[in-house]
A and B are shown apart, each in its own frame.
Chain A
């Protein structure tokens, strides 16, 4: 519609080139997925309007000649009418559209993890040195019976009578969150798969089907069934270690998904089982789940299809009444409940939803864990907490609040170069992550980034071991749900009550 030069909207960032350093190698032109740079005869020129500050150009500029700066041209400061609102009004008045972006909300909500402190041992009980003593992180996800049943053999020794429900064995309490082939590139998925296998953890296909290249990674993959049912068939359900029914996502509770037709090339078309060039639209609800009893039917349909050999996970967004919802999901037969907080990421979501719907994972998790214990059914399902786990500290706090494991999405993308520019929806990701453009995808080497993902999760696992040792326990299950080891700081009584923890000093 309007040419950028006539738009009210000023470029958010300036791509500044130091021409005294620039050697005109044109790497920036190649590297930028957004077309910011061009060669103007004797020097590189930048169309600032196209820059999203994804960081690719200056990372790969051999001369360090590029700086990306926030556009100093001011929109008059006004705490009420902030730049965010003014820009959106301009954008929407020009396009008549919904404002959409990728990644999680950029709003400055209170981050509860940053208001929770951990305990450590002093004198009365000893801390344990993780470099000298075993420090166990192994975690099993799935339904646990409330009691063991035994038989006794001829020698009178007990043998297991209970038939244990299927479990996912994790060497460390992390899983990679659902990111579909389509929303991210195949190379990005391969990097995650390589890391999951090396770490002894699992990744999640998201609602994009399972590409042939990932089939060998089956033991480290949770396959997802979402409202569009893309790529779902009998072999698909049986090709992973577990099946996940996706009801909602933290970044966009109540909202479906839309992968535009231009991203549906040959490979994605095959994997999703839809024609080339058609839009892949995931409806907001599952059209066979209009209530909890329908969910139960789908859970058991999947269990039938997989011969009761795979745990079934149900993924929901953290919304206001989450505790009761999860209780219902557990009673409906789910083996794992994956709860995604409101700061979770997405490939694309309307900002109105992303920035305003849902609740923090810390509060949701605390309430869910408490509710399931009150009802005496906490053992019936494992809980995975997600929604911007930024560090091992966040992970430890989530586990201590009651999660069995945490899911990593955005952090994994940051490993691959993502600068959280939030433009995943455009398909121009310069890092080759959230794009299907072959020349961009090609630059993401699965082995290089698979190793870095391995490094990150290994490093975080070591950090968790340090924390366990400092707290004087040598197994993650002794910290899981042990809220006595947490204290709140700068929190109100209501917040402390919801979290089920005491204030620091008490």
Chain B
């Protein structure tokens, strides 16, 4: 029996890790071989118990549809999930996710993908007036929580996640990512310290078009989780990454915060800095801390998150985990180690180590990444 979900009786999964990200602001595509090469330099940052990739722009032909990647333990799980999907979605195309047998990945769940959109007359319309995005989120949570042996690991539009148990370079070969093209990539190499191999637990973790890779342990996990539960998020995986994803979801999608402001919730500036700002900013940032104190991510982390509009990489408020960024033309690279960047871009225009809590925000169509806190410090 392969493990898709956190059924280890473990309250919480923690891990150390390596991560990488590549984005081209002009949406020029690269194949998965670049990111594979970069992340393989960080081989020692993982222990073979989890690797994965997120790619954006890989499903241009189905760009308007939600692309569900689902892993199944067995075919009966598949048929019961598919019954749910057929009742609630119009499925344009479904197929097994292309994989190739390799000597490194010998055991894997059944991997299938669906391109679809929620039905306009779906049954839940009788009770709710959920938008499509909300309905997709609800469906993902429902399947992941209630359908044994099934796990949705990707659900965004024109993007997809490919992950599993193994070193990332082997996972890339397994999913044949050399043949996949995208204008933004993130990758993750996992070093779990308290769970065995667990396909669902590999990164990236996604929700809609959000994908997160993360190195670190959120020491404030307990309160972050309870904060999200108050807003009816169901934290079934019990990983830090899940918490980060949902916090971004509530801040950006539900509460409408600009990305820049959301990063100031995740790694809130210290009051000693806030007190020195002009009144307008001071008022805003004080209110942000008062309202979203329970969403502050405290403890060591470096995260890279991708979304349809771009990529953000950032550290915790006192930079307890490594993160390096570099630019070369329209490309921006981020990684745990500079060596990973130089492996695919030997002489970048600019290399820097982002300061604590200072996000690197790169949006498409913008030639120069914004450095520094956008709400100026």
Mask, A408-424, CB within 8 Å of B = 1, is 00000000000000000
CA distance A485 to B218 in the complex (A): 12
- Chain A residues in 8 Å Cβ range of B268: 475
Chain A at the B interface: SS class = loop
Instruction: Decide if A160 touches B287 in the complex (CB within 8 Å).
Output: yes
The answer, among A147, A474, A480, for a CB contact under 8 Å with B293, is A480
Contact A484 B11 (CB under 8 A): yes
Q: From known contacts A484-B11, A485-B222, infer whether A474 and B287 are also in contact, taking CB-CB under 8 Å.
A: no
Chain A CB within 8 A of B41 CB: no
Q: Bound state CA distance, A134 and B318, in angstroms?
A: 9
Shortest C-beta distance, B235 to chain A (Å), equals 12
Contact of B226 among A147, A148, A481 (CB under 8 A): A481
Q: Are B296 and A475 in touch, CB under 8 angstroms?
A: yes
Contact pick for A483, options B222, B283, B291, B294, CB 8 Å: B222
Given the interface contacts A148-B287, A477-B293, A478-B298, does A376 sit within 8 Å of B217 by beta carbon? no
Query: Are the CB atoms of A477 and B294 closer together than 8 Å?
Result: yes
CB nearest to A160 among chain B residues: B284
A478 contacts B283, CB within 8 Å? no
A472 to B298, CA, bound (A): 8
Please state if B222 and A376 are interface contacts (CB–CB under 8 Å). no
Q: How many angstroms from the CA of A138 to the CA of B296 in the assembled complex?
A: 14
B contact residues around A134 at 8 Å (CB): 270, 272
**Chain B 9-27 against A: per-residue CB contact (8 Å), 1 yes, 0 no?**
0011011100000000000
Query: Which B residues from 228 to 262 make CB contacts under 8 A with A?
Result: 229-232, 254-258, 260-261
Selecting from A48-56, A125-133, A185-193, A387-395, the interface stretch reads A125-133
Query: Is B2 on the interface with A (CB-CB < 8 A)?
Result: no
Measured between beta carbons, the chain A residues less than 8 angstroms from B317 are: 474
In whole angstroms, what is the CA distance A83 to B219 when docked? 50
Docked-complex contact B258 and A125, CB < 8 angstroms: no
Are the CB atoms of B320 and A148 closer together than 8 Å? no
* A150 to B283 CA separation, bound complex (whole angstroms): 12
On whether A158 and B271 interact (CB within 8 A), knowing A145-B291, A471-B219, A478-B220, the answer reads no
* Nearest CB in chain B: distance from A133 CB, A: 6
Q: Which of chain A's residues 447-506 have a Cβ closer than 8 Å to chain B?
A: 471-475, 477-485, 502, 506
Please name all residues of chain A whose beta carbon is closer than 8 Å to the beta carbon of B188 when the two chains form the complex.
none
Number of interface residues of A (CB under 8 A): 43
Give min CB distance, B124 to chain A, whole Å.
21
Q: How far is the CA of A92 from the CA of B272 in the complex (A)?
A: 60
Interface string of A138-158 (1 = CB under 8 A from B): 101000111110100000011
Residue B377 is within 8 A (CB to CB) of chain A in the complex: no
- What is the minimal beta-carbon distance from B296 to any residue of chain A, in angstroms? 6
Q: How far is the CB of B241 from chain A (nearest CB, A)?
A: 15
- By a CB distance below 8 angstroms, the chain A residues around B11 are 484, 502, 506
Given contacts A164-B287, A376-B230, A480-B294, contact A473 B219 (CB under 8 A): yes
Query: Of A148, A376, A479, which is within 8 A of B231 by CB?
Result: A376
**Residues of B287-316 contacting chain A, CB below 8 A:** 287-294, 296, 298-300
Q: Is A373 an interface residue (CB 8 A)?
A: yes
In chain B, positions 50-72 with a C-beta closer than 8 Å to chain A are none
Chain B residues near A477 (CB-CB < 8 A): 223, 289, 293-294, 296
A376: chain B residues at CB < 8 Å are: 230-232
Q: Are A125 and B270 in contact (CB under 8 A)?
A: no
C-alpha spacing A162/B290, complex, angstroms: 12
B375 at the interface (CB under 8 A from A): yes
The reply on B83 being an interface residue by CB < 8 A is no
Within the complex, what minimum Cβ distance (angstroms) separates A417 from chain B? 35
Most buried by A among B12, B220, B258, B261: B220
Distance between Cα atoms of A502 and B375 in the complex (Å): 41
Distance A144 CA – B318 CA, assembled complex (angstroms): 26
A140 CB contacts on chain B under 8 angstroms: 290
Q: Mark A256-286, 1 if CB is under 8 A from B, else 0.
A: 0000000000000000000000000000000
Contact among A126, A133, A164, A485 for B290, CB-based, below 8 A: A164
B290 and A167 within 8 A (CB): yes
**Which of chain A's residues have a CB closer than 8 A to the CB of B121?**
none
**A170 CB, min distance to chain B CBs, angstroms:** 12
One of B230, B232, B294, B375 near A157 (C-beta < 8 A): B375
Q: Which residue of A lies closest to B273 (CB)?
A: A134
Q: Is B216 an interface residue (CB 8 A)?
A: yes
A160-B283, A376-B231 as given contacts; A473 in contact with B14, CB under 8 Å: no
* Pair B318/A484 contact, Cβ less than 8 Å: no
- In the complex, the answer to whether A478 meets B296 with C-beta atoms within 8 Å is yes
Known contacts A144-B291, A159-B280, A159-B284; A482/B216 CB under 8 A: no
B193 at the interface (CB under 8 A from A): yes
Contacts of A471 in B (CB 8 A): 219
Query: By the criterion CB–CB under 8 Å, are A158 and B290 in contact?
Result: no
Note all chain A residues with C-beta closer than 8 A to B290.
140, 144, 164, 167
Across the interface, B219 reaches (CB within 8 A) one of A136, A148, A373, A472, namely: A472
In Å, the complex CA distance between A506 and B226 comes to 19
B221 interface hit (Cβ, 8 Å): yes
The CA of A199 and the CA of B21, in the complex, are separated in Å by 47
Residues of A within 8 A of B280 (CB): 159-160
A to B CB contacts below 8 Å, 21 in the list: A124-B15, A133-B318, A136-B270, A145-B291, A147-B291, A148-B255, A148-B257, A150-B261, A158-B261, A373-B230, A376-B232, A474-B298, A474-B317, A474-B318, A477-B296, A478-B219, A478-B296, A478-B299, A481-B226, A482-B223, A483-B226
A interface residues with partner B (beta carbon < 8 Å): 121, 124-126, 128, 133-134, 136, 138, 140, 144-148, 150, 157-160, 162, 164, 167, 373, 376, 378-379, 471-475, 477-485, 502, 506
Contacts A124-B15, A477-B289 supplied; 11 other A-B pairs, CB < 8 Å:
A125-B14, A125-B299, A144-B291, A145-B291, A148-B291, A150-B257, A157-B375, A475-B296, A477-B294, A482-B220, A484-B222
Minimum-distance CB pairs A-B, first 9: A484-B222, A482-B222, A477-B293, A478-B298, A478-B220, A125-B217, A482-B223, A472-B219, A473-B298
